[in-house]
């Protein structure tokens, strides 16, 4: 019984690692995907290829829909965007968990 209580206390004292990281920047490329996602390449300060999935929680104007918009949020696991099916073109990126964007 003591071992169980010690395990529960140890679990609650040490938080688990975060499964998301922050991102933010101005969108230079925004493309709709065949798999229902939106691909956006963001610039500085924390940019890169990000993909808004159908499961993304969007706040304040939703996902970016044109270049020049600013986006800010949390991203997580790798994801993909099917840009074309004939010939097949797939862009890799990071799935957005939650985000907000400018108008």
Please report which confidence band the pLDDT of residue 12 belongs to, taking 50, 70 and 90 as the band edges.
Answer: low
Task: Report DSSP state, residue 93.
Answer: E
Assigned token pair, 3: 């071992």
Q: What is the pLDDT of residue 21?
A: 85
Percentages helix, strand, coil for the chain (3-state, rounded to 5) are: 10, 60, 25
Give the mean pLDDT of 5-32.
Answer: 76
Query: Nearest CA to 69 among 77, 56, 60?
Result: 60
Q: What is the pLDDT of residue 17?
A: 54
Q: What is the pLDDT of residue 60?
A: 75
Share of the chain above pLDDT 70, in %: 88
Q: What is the pLDDT of residue 83?
A: 92
Please report which confidence band the pLDDT of residue 8 belongs to, taking 50, 70 and 90 as the band edges.
Answer: confident
Assigned token pair, 99: 């985000």
Q: How many CB atoms lie within 10 A of CB 7?
A: 10
Q: What is the pLDDT of residue 3?
A: 77
What CATH superfamily is the domain 18-101?
Nucleic acid-binding proteins (2.40.50.140)
Give the mean pLDDT of 67-92.
Answer: 91
Q: Domain ranges in the chain?
A: 18-101
């Amino acid at each position: 019984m003591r071992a169980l209580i010690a395990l529960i206390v140890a679990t609650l004292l040490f938080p688990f690692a975060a499964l998301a990281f922050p991102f933010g920047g101005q969108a230079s490329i925004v493309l709709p995907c065949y798999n229902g996602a939106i691909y956006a390449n963001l610039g500085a300060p924390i940019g890169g290829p990000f993909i808004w999935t159908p499961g993304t929680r969007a706040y304040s104007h939703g996902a970016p829909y044109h270049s020049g918009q600013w986006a800010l949020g949390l991203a997580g696991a790798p994801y993909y965007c099917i840009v074309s099916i004939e010939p097949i073109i797939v862009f890799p990126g990071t799935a957005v968990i939650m985000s907000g964007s400018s108008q």
